[in-house]
Structure 1
């Protein structure tokens, strides 16, 4: 049978209590902090007078779905509220027995009413145990704490899609960028996914909230440095620490306070002059000059290492002297997994010139620290990287005459050096897969689309490297006229009549370019229409001249030739043409012009002439 009760505990008799005896029992009477009169029986426990006091929170006792007696806290100080929770627990147990709910769903229901902070503390412990970086854990804590506070989330069940979407909408109206809003949403989604894995949630209530489009409103877009800008920046970084002490003074135009002068800002052109003035001004303090020069060399090396390795600022700051391997065939920097963003060991290859500069830098540091042994030196940081390196970079950019923000709104910061590294890899023709490995990216689109600046790539040169495409190199195909490619073949075969002798007049183009044969053309070409000197008037009309018994044959003309009384015979004419053109072209032209009966007659005549 389900029931409610308050747990009791023992405590010492209050100092202001009065003990009286009633019905043989000792009764303590006192007033609490609110002035309410309290009474309780005094019991001697282990030689001490104590009283039994009931707690304020109601506990529920019931049988769960497996018929096991459970005793849980309702978290309520009001009995009616506690009774409502007890009724819910009993109802859930009955639904599980009836297989309306699963045991997992029932178990999740228990966790939904627990305080949100209890779940969130467990989530942070999970990240710390997993080895998540401290900065990432702090970012999660700050973002979720703010959302919980402003959304008034008390319990896990209070995390709803509607509530979070309303908060994100308010953030957008307040001017927060899409990337910032997405970072909050991503932190909460990660927490909810963990809650599902640990049976605290059945579904992710914020999984269907769409992320804001970061491309449409990108507040911080980085660009890559050009080669000339890199050289100018390295020159300024090396000499500016000393040149700062050689700046000229100038009067303030409208002084607001007691100060009436200020220093002229350094420029790239004035830097050499400022260096000379600084050395002259500090000539009595050579140690300080040496320290400023060392500081400039270190800053130049910091920039150069970032630009030529793609390391992040935090990763470079974690590098120790012992992690720089300069004695192998390929010099490398060994990045520990605890310091790498993806928590994986990485071996960063070094260019030979950068490796030589790092070797000289380490040797000079060892020479200064003669009292330190080799092991201690290996544990020291390679560079003293300022936490606010971006502020130092801004001053170096200004002195080098490099705009921090270009005309397109893209800006330069410390992380832009990593963009520069990726861009110059692509510009040098490095394959995308090799560039991805050098950048240590898990996805190649991140390397190509985010960390590659298309403004520095030779797009025009890439387009000009395409092969030329020209259809003019091919001759235009001739129409299918049946002449099998013959361009000019007006054959004129007026058959022999009583008045004329057989004559073959053709104009052909041979298979070899430029080799053509042209015979005498008749003044009137009747071959195409099939008009003959007879009463027939069509190419398909039966020609009575062909059937004439008086038509001369090839044999009657075989003795006539250029030197005889008549004109060339058909056999002689064909023999002359065959010496200058191919039989294939000649036959194609005959088939295209002559009627079938005329071709048969011609072949018969040729056959007779060969007998």
Structure 2
């Protein structure tokens, strides 16, 4: 271990001058760097004693016998003093006054109701007891109080004021199924809201519904941010005004362009604000909704407020067919799940149309196809004949008949042309029943469908009864699905039947 006191020296005008006050240097066992401390005394013995006390204190801290000096000093200061430093630090880091004031107010209320005065008073037990007894706040608000306290105490930990955040292990309240959700305005509700609003408020509502900008972002838009003269007019959102501190280019709807041009004053200053500055827009929109006869809460408990106009923007984009990536970019979300799961009101999406637009398949148990508006049945795609009824998709290939008119579809052969085949089928069934086992044909069978079956006829084609035992259901399906068969297969069957 290294430890000594000295008086610094310096050269001035060619002479060496020695300082009046002593300083100390030390390095504890296991340390790499040398620590230098001022001792503020001209007496060497006093300086040596002071350095020895500093080293002893530092060794006790290192051994864990006492808390570091910064913690001991902070422990005697009130939480209110620490909170003021926390708020000042947030302001220096760029947080807005409204946000820092909200945090300070929230923690002050929590500390008052929990009777916290010093850092040592903050305990998990006292917070949990306060949360258990508080029945007026929602689950989300209780979690907000916990998040505020954790943010402040974590800051104190990083500053060296406390050794550890005492609320770090306190669990959050489960809010699943208890969150108050927003919904999007319907088209009719938007029209009624625009109709009852004053002109300046109406412009603000329209901008929110057609750009997705938040109220705080809208109120910071100046005329220099709006570019009418571009081929595609847009709003240039400055990074200093956005929530994520990133600049963005938002295209404007033609109707919004026309509306903003109508309210634009003559030769406005570039820094002039475009929209009305109102401190309580949620209160204002609630009044306008009441005038328009729009319920704030729907039957599912979902609410409408000013921020719901941003939900409306995302929902209308999705309903209009915009891809999720495009919607995410216009909403300026970093996580696509936020766009899809939170900001999209699925009750206004064309879900019924999507299901109704599916092509029907005969495997669903019914061969009926819904008729169109003129009473005609739309042709559907048949992928295969059911293999459970004797023919696999590899034996008879299907084709798509969608899009063809009735005149273009081939006519099915009359069932009477299958009579001689059905007769052979009946004989085969009788022979199988008499013998009691399969394979009782009188003579080896020739294949029913030869390669050159276009020249074969029913008169010179032998039909194996064993084969006929599985042919009956196939014949019925051939008649029902004659229009779906390839042209080559139809010609072969017609030649076989003669």
TM bin, normalised by shorter chain, reads 0.5 to 0.7
Note if contact 1:107-1:199 (Cα within 8 Å) is conserved in structure 2: no
Q: Tell me, which stretches of 5 or more residues in structure 2 are unaligned?
A: 1-25, 40-52, 366-383, 397-416, 450-455, 469-498
Note if contact 1:427-1:458 (Cα within 8 Å) is conserved in structure 2: yes
More strand by share: 1
Alignment TM-score, normalising by the size of structure 1: 0.52
Match of 1:455 in 2: 347
1:395 Cα deviation from its structure 2 partner: 3.1
Note if contact 1:222-1:411 (Cα within 8 Å) is conserved in structure 2: yes
CA distance in 2, matches of 1:576, 1:150: 93
3-state DSSP of counterpart to 1:382: coil
CA distance in 1, matches of 2:69, 2:355: 63
CA distance in 2, matches of 1:224, 1:527: 70
Tell me which of the two structures has the higher relative contact order, counting C-alpha pairs closer than 8 angstroms and 6 or more residues apart.
2
Note if contact 1:321-1:378 (Cα within 8 Å) is conserved in structure 2: yes
Please tell me whether residue 161 in structure 1 is matched to residue 127 in structure 2.
Answer: no
Aligned CA distance change for structure 1 residues 70 and 152 (closer, same or farther; 3 Å): farther
Please tell me whether residue 233 in structure 1 is matched to residue 201 in structure 2.
Answer: no
Equivalent pairs, count: 375
Match of 1:146 in 2: 109
CA distance in 2, matches of 1:576, 1:411: 71
Deviations, residues 462-485 of structure 1 (Å, cap 9, x unaligned): 3323443542663353689xxx99
CA distance in 1, matches of 2:245, 2:98: 13
3-state DSSP of counterpart to 1:378: coil
Equivalent of residue 328 in structure 2, options 433, 436, 457 = 436
Match of 2:385 in 1: 474
Match of 1:324 in 2: 226
CA distance in 2, matches of 1:326, 1:215: 45
Match of 1:267 in 2: none
Please tell me whether residue 191 in structure 1 is matched to residue 152 in structure 2.
Answer: yes
Match of 2:95 in 1: 132
3-state DSSP of counterpart to 1:216: coil
Q: Tell me, which stretches of 5 or more residues in structure 1 are unaligned?
A: 1-62, 73-86, 238-295, 367-373, 486-511, 532-538, 541-568, 591-611
1:195 Cα deviation from its structure 2 partner: 3.0
CA distance in 1, matches of 2:313, 2:339: 10
Note if contact 2:446-2:464 (Cα within 8 Å) is conserved in structure 1: no
Please tell me whether residue 409 in structure 1 is matched to residue 301 in structure 2.
Answer: yes
Deviations, residues 505-556 of structure 1 (Å, cap 9, x unaligned): xxxxxxx98873849979x96996499xxxxxxx99xxxxxxxxxxxxxxxx
Rg bigger for which structure? 1
1:60-209 correspondence runs (5 A): 93-94=59-60, 96=62, 100-101=63-64, 106=68, 109-110=71-72, 113-115=75-77, 116-171=79-134, 173=135, 175-209=136-170
Aligned CA distance change for structure 1 residues 209 and 570 (closer, same or farther; 3 Å): closer
1:176 Cα deviation from its structure 2 partner: 0.6
Deviations, residues 26-83 of structure 1 (Å, cap 9, x unaligned): xxxxxxxxxxxxxxxxxxxxxxxxxxxxxxxxxxxxx9967989899xxxxxxxxxxx
Note if contact 1:423-1:456 (Cα within 8 Å) is conserved in structure 2: yes
Deviations, residues 578-602 of structure 1 (Å, cap 9, x unaligned): 9759999759879xxxxxxxxxxxx
CA distance in 2, matches of 1:575, 1:381: 87
3-state DSSP of counterpart to 2:250: strand
Aligned CA distance change for structure 1 residues 149 and 474 (closer, same or farther; 3 Å): same
CA distance in 1, matches of 2:234, 2:355: 36
